[in-house]
């Protein structure tokens, strides 16, 4: 279901109930397609997210020579080219709204001796790429970007790539992953040090496809060493439900009185569970059942029940484990009893929007008390629903749009967003599923 731009969420008339599956994990979906394209043989992917962001990655892998197709039953098949086997694309690679796809693809292209041009939509063209292009030039690649290191960019991949040794200055799974993907086609050992541990889907998938990788703890961070030029072998991937998308369903169930939702097969990778830890501290009733391992990733079923919440202090070091969930956490905090302070959100300022400012404006427009102090976001909850009734400017940011629509399901008056069209980039059928559970979302 395509979502129109101007959209409104009205207070739910009844509790939310039932079983609602979150879409496939976006981070893992991107990586499954990329690794399938770099492997020898045919990789079978189930549960792949079919949002616009991931479809852009699928198109890019086709343009680079892999065969990528979806079967009638929803399974995806990727016939890979092998490490070093990608071909030069005939046209510009348009990555749409996906910063993850753009940055990881820079890593792949950097160590392949091909020329490529990459662009994205208006939002992505505002986002900085220098954080990946600068370390990747050390392998021998040449990048040319717009002023400020922004898209569109060109890359001439290295003919004789050199393995990287790089310390990531600011915790970033995207930068780390781009450097590791570059190291796949470089001889020798690529060594990446991260000062704070970040999501490790790339490391898990490298092992899953047969690469030799060693990970050593170093204080709060890790040192990752990858042996270059392996022969990756095709490997089936079962993509779990995306915890960042499940967060919106969790929030709706927590906030609408009387609600109880079951969200099956959600990914529970420890590097992605910062929100669930925070919700536990807030007293949220979120129970995990049927814990298991699928495709190398921990998975479980969430049972979420409405109940009272309390404000908490969220430490800055938790940010890498919940970086995409802060807008919806701020919405939850507006209903809690007491103040919630979310610390150290500098990374949120360079997402699809300045999410610190956009989230604060979202709440303020709907009667919640909110402050911004430096890179801290502070929400003063009253223990009850905010007034609502506001218009939210989404800044072409799908997570701001969804956070606002979840807010409107439990406020006193409806909440309207100026543009809900980008929700499909990460959560296809969001509106349909929310309404099936009992929500009241509709074009304004």
pLDDT in tens, 324-346: 999 999 999 999 999 999 999 99
Averaged pLDDT for residues 382-401: 96
Calculate the average pLDDT of the chain: 95
Q: Which of 39, 28, 29, 33 is nearest to 185 (CA)?
A: 39
Say yes or no to pLDDT of 2 above 60. no
Return the exposure string of 382-405: e unless at least 16 CB atoms fall within 10 Å of the residue's CB, then b.
Answer: eeebbebebebbbbbbbbbbbbbb
pLDDT greater than 60 at residue 23: yes
State pLDDT tens for residues 95-148.
Answer: 999 999 999 999 999 999 999 999 999 989 999 899 999 999 999 999 999 999
Contacting residues for 121 by C-beta, under 8 A, at least 6 apart: 96, 97, 396
| Better-scored residue on pLDDT, 61 or 323 | 61
Examine the pLDDT at 352 and tell me if it is beyond 90: no
- Model confidence at 29, in pLDDT bands (50, 70, 90)? very high
H-helix or E-strand spanning residue 284: none
- For residue 284 the two structure tokens come to 């949220």
Residues in the chain: 444
Q: pLDDT class for 299, splitting at 50, 70, 90?
A: very high
- Mean local confidence (pLDDT), 185-207: 95
How many whole angstroms separate alpha carbon 315 and alpha carbon 341? 8
Q: What is the pLDDT of residue 4?
A: 66
Flag whether pLDDT at 150 surpasses 80.
yes
Q: Residue 425 has what pLDDT?
A: 84
Which candidate, 90, 17, 11, 13, places its Cα nearest to that of 263?
A: 17
Q: What is the pLDDT of residue 400?
A: 97
In the prediction, which pLDDT does 3 show?
A: 64
Please provide residue 51's backbone torsions phi and psi, each rounded to the nearest 5 degrees.
-70, 165
pTM > 0.85: yes or no? yes
CB atoms within 10 A of CB 285: 16
Instruction: Point out the residues that are catalytic.
Output: 324
Closest CA to 377 of 423, 312, 320: 312
Q: How many C-alpha atoms does 320 have within 13 Å on its Cβ side?
A: 20
Domains of the chain listed by start with CATH number: 7-24+240-443 (3.65.10.10), 26-238 (3.65.10.10)
DSSP string, 70-132: E-TTS-EEEE---TT-----SS-EE-TT-HHHHHHHHHHHHTSS-EEEEE--TTGGGSB-HHH
């Amino acid at each position: 279901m395509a979502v129109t731009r101007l959209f409104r969420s009205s207070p739910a008339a009844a509790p939310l109930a039932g079983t609602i599956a979150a879409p496939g994990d976006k981070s893992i979906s991107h990586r499954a397609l990329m690794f399938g394209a770099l492997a020898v043989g045919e990789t079978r992917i189930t549960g792949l997210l079919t949002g616009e962001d991931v479809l852009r990655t699928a198109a890019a892998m086709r343009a680079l020579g892999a065969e990528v197709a979806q079967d009638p039953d929803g399974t995806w098949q990727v016939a890979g080219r092998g490490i070093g086997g990608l071909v030069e694309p005939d046209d510009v690679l348009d990555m749409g709204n996906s910063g993850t796809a753009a940055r990881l693809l820079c890593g792949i292209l950097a160590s392949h001796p091909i020329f490529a041009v990459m662009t994205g939509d208006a939002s992505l063209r505002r986002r900085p790429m220098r954080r990946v292009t600068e370390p990747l030039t050390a392998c021998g690649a040449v990048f040319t970007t717009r002023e400020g290191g922004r898209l569109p960019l060109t890359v001439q991949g290295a003919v004789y790539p050199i393995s990287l040794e790089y310390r990531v200055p600011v915790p970033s799974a995207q930068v780390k992953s781009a450097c590791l993907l570059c190291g796949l086609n470089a001889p020798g050992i690529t060594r990446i040090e991260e000062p704070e541990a970040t999501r490790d889907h790339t490391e898990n998938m490298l092992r899953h496809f047969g690469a030799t990788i060693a990970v050593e703890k170093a204080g709060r961070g890790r040192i990752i060493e990858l042996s270059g030029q392996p022969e990756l072998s095709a490997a089936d991937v079962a993509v779990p439900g995306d915890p960042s998308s499940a967060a919106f369903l969790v929030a709706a169930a927590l906030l609408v009185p009387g609600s109880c939702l079951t969200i099956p097969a959600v990914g529970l990778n420890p590097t992605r569970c910062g929100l669930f830890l925070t919700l536990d501290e807030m007293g949220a009733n979120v129970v995990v059942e049927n814990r298991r391992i699928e495709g190398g990733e921990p998975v479980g079923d969430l049972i979420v029940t409405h109940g009272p919440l309390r404000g908490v202090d969220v430490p800055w070091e938790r940010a890498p484990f919940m970086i995409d969930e802060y807008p919806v956490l701020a919405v939850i905090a507006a209903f809690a009893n007491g103040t919630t302070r979310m610390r150290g959100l500098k990374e949120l300022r360079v997402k699809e929007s300045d999410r610190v400012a956009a989230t604060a404006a979202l709440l303020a427009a709907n009667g919640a008390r909110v402050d911004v102090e430096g890179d801290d976001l502070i929400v003063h909850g009253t223990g009850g629903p905010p007034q609502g009734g506001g218009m939210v400017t989404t800044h072409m940011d799908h997570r701001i749009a969804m956070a606002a629509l979840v807010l409107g399901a439990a406020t006193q008056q409806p909440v309207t967003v100026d543009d809900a069209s980008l929700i499909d980039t990460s959560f296809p059928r969001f509106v349909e599923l929310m309404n099936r559970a009992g929500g009241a979302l509709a074009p304004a």
